[in-house]
Amino acid sequence: MISGPRSIVLFSCLLLALSGAAFALSRLYTPERTVDLTPPAAYVGAPVPPQADPGTAVRRTQLVDEDWLRRTSRATGIPSPALRAYADAQLSGVGGCEVGWTTLAGIGWIESQHGTLGGRTIDAEGRSSSAILGPALDGSGDFAAIRSTAASRAWHGDATWEHAVGPMQFLRSSWEPWAADGDRDGTIDPHDLDDAAATAARYLCAGGRDLARGDGWASAVLSYNHSDEYVAAVHAAASAYAERAAGRRAG
């Protein structure tokens, strides 16, 4: 949930990785208002009943169909645990609005490359191999100056400046009102992509936003990061994932 050069660099990487999906910035905003754009498609396979994982004491409640997950992960290049987190957040309705897995995936790519930023890997439970910590929000460059609090220090260890944490890059102040237990394991953790995706869905839907409308979709993503470039990057990523997933279905 931060803006700056890192988002633009990742956007450039996205254009290479996803075959140059383009979106004109001039169509997104005027100085006073958000204009209409097409929300990315977000088809998912039929949900499956919750099933217990016999290998753990925790009941694993994956919602998305495993066959859809496997095939769509291959088509889009999104790691399966990350795609599961995004699709389950959509199917659960945790956000309370029509937020699609493609939108969550677009944000997840820009923020942390689905938890794999900097050569990290993501495990089957949706956790990165090492914690993802955003830069200090110290007012330098394009970053706002935000002082840390006693509570947020426990997240990132900086006694002076705030940092976003986890694969969806939440600030503690943004996390706490919307935090959700995406994998229903009894723990809510910003470093767990299942929880982070569900929390992002709730955040995007806040205030009764209608993400099925173009202006509502753009307004929601802009609230996540106050940057025109960021909204364009998320839209390009989400649209590219939708196209790749649709191509897989057609094939």
pTM for the predicted model, two decimal places: 0.82
Would 55 be classed as within a structural domain?
Answer: yes
Would 126 be classed as within a structural domain?
Answer: yes
What token pair was written down for 247?
């191509």
Would 155 be classed as within a structural domain?
Answer: no
Would 148 be classed as within a structural domain?
Answer: no
3-state SS assignment for residue 216: helix
Number of structural domains (the chain) is 1
Number of Cβ atoms within 10 Å of the Cβ of 38: 10
Which pLDDT score is estimated for 44?
Answer: 86
Q: What is the C-alpha separation between 236 and 221, in angstroms, rounded? A: 12
Which pLDDT score is estimated for 6?
Answer: 45
Would 160 be classed as within a structural domain?
Answer: no
Residuewise pLDDT in 10s, the chain (251 residues): 654 444 444 444 444 344 333 333 323 333 333 445 789 998 887 666 555 454 443 346 789 999 999 999 999 999 999 999 999 999 999 999 999 999 999 999 999 999 999 999 999 999 999 999 998 888 887 778 888 888 888 888 888 898 889 999 999 999 999 999 999 999 999 999 999 999 999 999 999 999 999 999 999 999 999 888 999 999 999 999 999 999 865 54
Would 161 be classed as within a structural domain?
Answer: no
Which pLDDT score is estimated for 153?
Answer: 83
Tell me which residue of 118, 120, 94, 116 sits closest to 105, measured CA to CA. 116
Q: Which domain holds residue 92?
A: 5-131+167-250
Which pLDDT score is estimated for 2?
Answer: 52
Would 144 be classed as within a structural domain?
Answer: no
Would 77 be classed as within a structural domain?
Answer: yes
Which pLDDT score is estimated for 82?
Answer: 98
Which pLDDT score is estimated for 137?
Answer: 86
- The 3-class secondary structure across 16-84, one letter per residue, is HHCCCCCCCHHHCECCCCECCCCCCCCCCCCCCCCCCCCCCCCCCCCCCCHHHHHHHHHHHCCCHHHHH
What token pair was written down for 131?
């914690």
Which pLDDT score is estimated for 49?
Answer: 54
